[in-house]
Amino acid sequence: MNKFHKIQYTLALLLVTFPILIANMALADAGDKCSGVVKDVKQASTLATAAFLANEENKEGSIRYESSAMLEKSENKAGAAQKPADFCPADCRMSEKPEVVFKAASNKFLTDYSQYDKCQKLLEETQKTPFEYNEQFSSLDQIEKWFSDFTRGKGEDGKDLYSKCSGDCSPQYELIITKESGKLSLDADVICGHERDKKDDHYELSYSYRWSCESK
Q: Where are the domains of the chain?
A: 1-34, 37-215
Q: What is the pLDDT along the chain (216 residues), one digit of tens a residue?
A: 555 454 444 444 444 444 544 444 444 454 578 888 999 999 999 999 999 999 999 999 999 999 999 999 998 898 889 999 888 998 899 998 899 999 999 999 999 999 999 999 999 999 999 999 999 999 999 999 999 999 999 999 999 999 999 999 999 999 999 988 789 999 999 999 999 999 998 999 999 999 999 988
Q: Determine the pLDDT at residue 2.
A: 53
DSSP string across 59-83 = -TTBHHHHHHHHHHHHHHHGGGPPP
Q: Are 105 and 172 in contact (CB under 8 A)?
A: yes
Burial of 50 from C-beta contacts in 10 A (0-12 / 13-18 / 19+): buried
Most distant pair of Cα atoms in the chain: their distance: 89
Number of H-type helices and E-type strands within the chain: 6, 7
3-state helix, strand, coil in the chain (%, to 5): 40, 30, 25
